[in-house]
Amino acid sequence: MINVPDRRRTVELIEEAVDAGAPAQKACEELEISLRTYKRWTDGDGVKADGRPDAERPEPANKLKPEERQQILETCNEEAYRSLPPSQIVPALADKDTYIASESSFYRILKEADQLHRRGRAQAPRRVSKPEAYKATAPNQVWSWDITFLATTITGIFYRLYLVMDIYSRKIVGWEIHENETADHASLLIRKACLAEGISEQGLVLHSDNGSPMKGATMLATLQRLGVVPSFSR
């Protein structure tokens, strides 16, 4: 909003330009205001102040009443809804032919009441530490392995390819195909790969995701016996 002194100065500059023969439209454009704004400022006696701060604004007809706001809070804290966000509460109420307010109103009321986070059984957010990073500067320092599906001639039936790769040389140090995913198959493959590559010293890192075969008890026990350090994705 432009204050009254600045408006007066702007009007004076425009009037000087008009008196000098310039069109009012061009003078207004130079000062980056519209001709309509200039006429509104000078309509009547003197330069008018901005009336928006003191304008009377009627309340919206659909404004929530205090009892409706309280009903929203009570509903959100009921046992059936206190662990749900408004995006699930409003549809659940609609299924019961009940409408209190819009989803955005639910969010707004809960935010004002400081109940938008961790209501009911919802747990507080926890900070997950970044996993340790490993860098390979030579072969047989860091291996990575995973299990992927291999299609068969029968729709819906797949084999599982177990594959271990050295991330430095990109060499496939071990692979097997099985009909299912188990930690037993994985541990046997790792033992064979370590034997084939002559891994006898401790320090090899084996990276994988957090799948069940990767973190199975048999697999972890095998890695411990071989002196292999397990590494998992976040």
Kindly report, residue by residue over 9-22, the tens digit of the pLDDT: 888 898 899 899 99
Question: What is the predicted pLDDT for the residue at 119?
Answer: 67
Q: Is the pLDDT of residue 58 over 90?
A: no
Distance CA 65, CA 132 (A): 54
Question: What is the predicted pLDDT for the residue at 120?
Answer: 64
Over range 194-217, report the average pLDDT.
Answer: 87
Question: What is the predicted pLDDT for the residue at 1?
Answer: 65
User: What per-residue string of b and e applies to 102-127 under the rule 16 or more CB within 10 Å gives b?
Assistant: eeebbebbbeeeeebeeeeeeeeeee
CB distance 163 to 173 below 8 Å: no
Distance CA 114, CA 27 (A): 52
Q: Is the pLDDT of residue 163 over 70?
A: yes
* Two tokens, residue 14: 């425009």
DSSP 80-148: TTTTS-HHHHHHHHHHTT---S-HHHHHHHHHHTT-SSS-TTPPPP-PPPPPPP---SSTTSEEEEEEE
Over range 216-234, report the average pLDDT.
Answer: 87
Instruction: Name the architecture of domain 142-232.
Output: 2-Layer Sandwich (3.30)
- Which has more pLDDT, 165 or 218? 165
Report residue 161's pLDDT band, with 50, 70 and 90 as the boundaries: very high
Report residue 59's pLDDT band, with 50, 70 and 90 as the boundaries: confident
Average pLDDT, the chain: 87
pTM for the full predicted model: 0.47
Q: Please give the backbone phi and psi of residue 143, each rounded to the nearest 5 degrees, phi first.
A: -110, 155
Q: How many CA atoms lie within 13 A of 188 on its CB side?
A: 9
* 183-197 and 217-226 helices, crossing angle to 10°: 20
CB distance 82 to 76 below 8 Å: yes
Pairing of strands 229-232, 205-208: parallel
Over range 115-136, report the average pLDDT.
Answer: 76
Over range 93-113, report the average pLDDT.
Answer: 92
Numbers of helices and strands, H then E, in the chain: 9, 5
Beta carbons within 8 Å of 90's beta carbon, 6+ residues apart: 102, 103, 106
Report residue 121's pLDDT band, with 50, 70 and 90 as the boundaries: low
Residue 112 C-alpha from the chain's centroid: 23
Q: Convert the pLDDT of each residue in 177-203 to its tens digit.
A: 999 999 999 999 999 999 999 887 678
Per cent of the chain over pLDDT 70 is 94
Over range 86-102, report the average pLDDT.
Answer: 93
Report residue 151's pLDDT band, with 50, 70 and 90 as the boundaries: very high
Question: What is the predicted pLDDT for the residue at 122?
Answer: 64
Give the best-scoring range by mean pLDDT among 34-38, 102-106, 119-123: 102-106
Q: Please give the backbone phi and psi of residue 54, each rounded to the nearest 5 degrees, phi first.
A: -100, 10
